[in-house]
Structure 1
Amino acid sequence: MAAAIDADASNEEATDSAPAKRKLSGKVLVLYIALPLLVLLSAGAGVWFSGILGGHQDAQPRIAEPVFYDLPDILVNLSGPPPQHFLKMKVALQVVDQDALKRLEAELPRVLDSFQVFLRELRPEDLQGSAGMLRIKEELLRRIALAIQPPIVSDVLFKEVIVQ
């Protein structure tokens, strides 16, 4: 019997001297495993959906084809002291879509009238330089927007401008 007690005591000493396995606590598991894994997955999803790695290849925006309308030539006499000066312009309008062309053609007399009234008040000095042409372009675009509501013209393009 003494031998049995000695054997049990030696078994207990052997188990006590062996290193015990430690269990990971919940905080350590979350901080060192789950949180970095979540950050990596989020970053990977962000890169994928941003298109860097090929995500959303079919979601490229469709660019509408530009639609242009050529106005008839405009010829006006400019205001100011003699000698008399004339302005000849060829203008194209960029319209938002193909359906807006019908509406523009229906409203064209009103648009041309507002152009004529504005252009006849200009002096030759108003047409000098790129800043002068930009102001005229902005004013023509504003007058079109006033003549046609809601606005259907997105840009005024000068094809030819002659001051004589």
Structure 2
Amino acid sequence: MRKLSFAAALLLAGPAFATGLEIDVEGEANGIVTIDLFEDVAPQHVERITALAEQGAYDGVVFHRVIDGFMAQTGDVQYGREGANLARAGTGGSDMGNVPAEFSDRSFGRGVVGMARSRDPDSANSQFFIMFEPAPHLDGQYTVVGEVTDGMDVVDAIKRGSSAANGSVAEAPDVMRRVRVVE
């Protein structure tokens, strides 16, 4: 009997990976953002994002932290829901537990999608961010999970937060109306 490689065994044992996401954004920005997910670079993170998207957990979640010239952050499925008191947005996650870091040699360039986390490198859960501009200081410090392949004009139009409040968007933040897994 032939022995499978570790990677092949993981692929056969786990759920089928999707290749990307389509995010319908509404607010100051309106349109669809298409993201190619890097299953080969961050398989556990991609599995988490796709599982949450398939459950509809990201639908109605806002871009709660948006820093001009840096990035737009979203994905707080616990405290980042549209219409909720957003004072705690950015501090929550899913009930699925944290995902250990999967750092790579991929660089944080424009359009790259990374997983948000606390100071603990192994604390990524549901939140992610999309880069407006390159940020090489994040390389090897945060997990790269994908890249925008279409709709960067939509990302560029996302409502910016207050520079005095570290990018927090206090009023009428843009929202991920619907997030779909695509192949």
Higher strand share: 2
Larger Rg: 1
* TM, length-normalised to structure 1: 0.30
TM score, norm. by length of structure 2: 0.28
Larger helix share, 1 or 2 = 1
